[in-house]
Amino acid sequence: MITEHTFNTDIITINYAEGGVSEALKNTPIAIEGQSTPVPARTLFGEENPWFRDMAENLRLNDPEMLTAVLEFNSMHEGYDYEQLFPMISCPVLIIQGSPANGGMLTNEEIERALTLLPHASAARMETVGHALHTQEKEPVLLAITSFLETL
Protein backbone atom coordinates (compact mmCIF):
# COMPACT_ATOMS: atom_id res chain seq x y z
CA MET A 1 0.00 0.00 0.00
CA ILE A 2 1.24 3.49 -0.82
CA THR A 3 1.23 5.57 2.34
CA GLU A 4 2.43 8.94 1.08
CA HIS A 5 3.98 10.71 -1.84
CA THR A 6 5.84 13.94 -2.32
CA PHE A 7 6.44 15.88 -5.48
CA ASN A 8 10.06 16.10 -6.48
CA THR A 9 10.97 19.79 -6.09
CA ASP A 10 12.96 19.58 -9.33
CA ILE A 11 9.63 19.89 -11.16
CA ILE A 12 9.61 23.63 -10.54
CA THR A 13 12.83 24.19 -12.47
CA ILE A 14 12.09 21.85 -15.39
CA ASN A 15 11.49 23.24 -18.87
CA TYR A 16 8.09 21.96 -20.00
CA ALA A 17 9.10 21.99 -23.67
CA GLU A 18 11.76 19.35 -23.06
CA GLY A 19 9.32 16.85 -21.55
CA GLY A 20 11.25 17.13 -18.31
CA VAL A 21 8.21 17.24 -16.05
CA SER A 22 7.30 13.67 -16.93
CA GLU A 23 10.87 12.59 -16.16
CA ALA A 24 10.87 14.48 -12.85
CA LEU A 25 7.60 12.78 -11.88
CA LYS A 26 9.13 9.39 -12.67
CA ASN A 27 11.86 10.15 -10.11
CA THR A 28 9.41 11.20 -7.39
CA PRO A 29 10.05 9.09 -4.27
CA ILE A 30 7.04 7.08 -3.07
CA ALA A 31 6.91 5.59 0.42
CA ILE A 32 5.63 2.02 0.55
CA GLU A 33 4.20 0.59 3.75
CA GLY A 34 6.68 -1.85 5.28
CA GLN A 35 9.68 -0.56 3.33
CA SER A 36 12.20 1.76 4.92
CA THR A 37 13.32 3.41 1.68
CA PRO A 38 11.00 5.17 -0.79
CA VAL A 39 11.13 3.96 -4.39
CA PRO A 40 11.02 6.09 -7.55
CA ALA A 41 7.53 6.31 -9.05
CA ARG A 42 8.85 4.74 -12.29
CA THR A 43 9.76 1.59 -10.34
CA LEU A 44 6.34 1.33 -8.77
CA PHE A 45 4.14 2.29 -11.75
CA GLY A 46 6.31 1.29 -14.71
CA GLU A 47 8.28 3.43 -17.11
CA GLU A 48 5.45 3.86 -19.64
CA ASN A 49 2.53 4.46 -17.27
CA PRO A 50 0.24 7.07 -18.89
CA TRP A 51 -0.14 8.82 -15.52
CA PHE A 52 3.27 10.49 -15.99
CA ARG A 53 2.27 12.05 -19.32
CA ASP A 54 -1.19 13.03 -18.05
CA MET A 55 0.15 14.59 -14.85
CA ALA A 56 2.86 16.49 -16.73
CA GLU A 57 0.19 17.97 -19.02
CA ASN A 58 -2.00 18.73 -16.01
CA LEU A 59 0.85 20.57 -14.29
CA ARG A 60 1.65 22.51 -17.46
CA LEU A 61 -1.89 23.87 -17.52
CA ASN A 62 -1.91 24.94 -13.85
CA ASP A 63 -0.94 28.26 -12.37
CA PRO A 64 2.72 27.86 -11.29
CA GLU A 65 1.80 29.05 -7.78
CA MET A 66 -0.36 25.95 -7.43
CA LEU A 67 2.84 23.94 -7.05
CA THR A 68 3.78 26.07 -4.05
CA ALA A 69 0.56 24.93 -2.37
CA VAL A 70 1.35 21.29 -3.21
CA LEU A 71 4.94 21.48 -1.98
CA GLU A 72 3.99 23.35 1.19
CA PHE A 73 0.81 21.35 1.81
CA ASN A 74 1.30 20.71 5.54
CA SER A 75 2.22 24.29 6.44
CA MET A 76 -0.56 25.62 4.22
CA HIS A 77 -3.15 23.60 6.15
CA GLU A 78 -1.78 24.26 9.63
CA GLY A 79 -4.52 25.59 11.86
CA TYR A 80 -7.21 24.84 9.26
CA ASP A 81 -10.13 23.59 11.35
CA TYR A 82 -12.49 21.59 9.12
CA GLU A 83 -14.80 20.91 12.03
CA GLN A 84 -15.41 24.66 12.38
CA LEU A 85 -15.31 25.70 8.71
CA PHE A 86 -17.36 23.01 6.98
CA PRO A 87 -20.64 23.86 8.76
CA MET A 88 -20.25 27.45 7.52
CA ILE A 89 -20.38 26.39 3.85
CA SER A 90 -23.95 27.05 2.76
CA CYS A 91 -23.81 26.17 -0.95
CA PRO A 92 -24.34 22.65 -2.28
CA VAL A 93 -21.15 20.58 -2.26
CA LEU A 94 -20.31 17.44 -4.22
CA ILE A 95 -17.55 15.29 -2.76
CA ILE A 96 -16.12 12.86 -5.29
CA GLN A 97 -14.27 10.03 -3.61
CA GLY A 98 -11.80 7.89 -5.47
CA SER A 99 -11.66 4.31 -4.29
CA PRO A 100 -9.19 3.93 -1.40
CA ALA A 101 -8.29 0.53 -2.88
CA ASN A 102 -7.17 2.31 -6.08
CA GLY A 103 -5.25 5.14 -4.41
CA GLY A 104 -8.12 7.45 -3.43
CA MET A 105 -6.99 9.79 -0.67
CA LEU A 106 -10.23 10.19 1.31
CA THR A 107 -11.31 7.36 3.58
CA ASN A 108 -14.94 6.33 3.97
CA GLU A 109 -14.79 7.71 7.51
CA GLU A 110 -13.58 11.11 6.26
CA ILE A 111 -16.38 11.21 3.71
CA GLU A 112 -18.99 10.37 6.34
CA ARG A 113 -17.59 13.03 8.67
CA ALA A 114 -17.63 15.66 5.89
CA LEU A 115 -21.23 14.75 5.03
CA THR A 116 -22.14 15.27 8.68
CA LEU A 117 -20.42 18.68 8.84
CA LEU A 118 -21.44 20.10 5.46
CA PRO A 119 -25.09 21.21 5.54
CA HIS A 120 -25.80 20.60 1.82
CA ALA A 121 -23.38 17.93 0.70
CA SER A 122 -23.61 14.74 -1.28
CA ALA A 123 -20.97 12.19 -2.13
CA ALA A 124 -20.22 10.25 -5.28
CA ARG A 125 -18.01 7.24 -4.68
CA MET A 126 -15.96 6.12 -7.65
CA GLU A 127 -15.18 2.40 -7.43
CA THR A 128 -12.89 2.16 -10.45
CA VAL A 129 -10.62 5.21 -10.02
CA GLY A 130 -8.20 6.44 -7.38
CA HIS A 131 -6.73 9.86 -6.59
CA ALA A 132 -6.43 11.19 -10.16
CA LEU A 133 -10.17 10.94 -10.78
CA HIS A 134 -10.47 12.76 -14.08
CA THR A 135 -7.37 11.28 -15.69
CA GLN A 136 -8.21 7.62 -15.09
CA GLU A 137 -11.84 7.21 -16.18
CA LYS A 138 -13.64 10.36 -17.21
CA GLU A 139 -17.14 8.93 -17.72
CA PRO A 140 -18.08 8.06 -14.11
CA VAL A 141 -16.68 11.37 -12.87
CA LEU A 142 -18.52 13.37 -15.55
CA LEU A 143 -21.74 11.52 -14.75
CA ALA A 144 -21.39 12.35 -11.05
CA ILE A 145 -20.71 16.03 -11.81
CA THR A 146 -23.50 16.43 -14.36
CA SER A 147 -26.00 14.63 -12.10
CA PHE A 148 -25.02 16.95 -9.25
CA LEU A 149 -25.33 20.05 -11.44
CA GLU A 150 -28.80 18.97 -12.59
CA THR A 151 -29.96 19.15 -8.95
CA LEU A 152 -29.03 22.82 -8.63
pLDDT tens, position by position, 67-119: 777 667 777 777 888 899 999 999 999 999 988 887 788 889 999 999 999 99
- Which is more confident, 128 or 117? 117
At 39, is the secondary structure helix, strand, or coil? strand
pTM for this one? Answer: 0.60
Whether pLDDT at 151 is above 90: yes
Query: What pLDDT score was predicted for residue 149?
Result: 95
Q: What is the C-alpha R_g of the chain? A: 17
Length of the chain: 152
At 150, is the secondary structure helix, strand, or coil? helix
Query: What pLDDT score was predicted for residue 94?
Result: 95
Longest dimension (CA), the chain: 48
Q: What angle do CA 74, 39, 61 make, to 5 degrees?
A: 55
Query: What pLDDT score was predicted for residue 112?
Result: 95
Ranges 6-10, 45-49, 145-149, most confident: 145-149
Domain boundaries, the chain: 2-76, 81-150
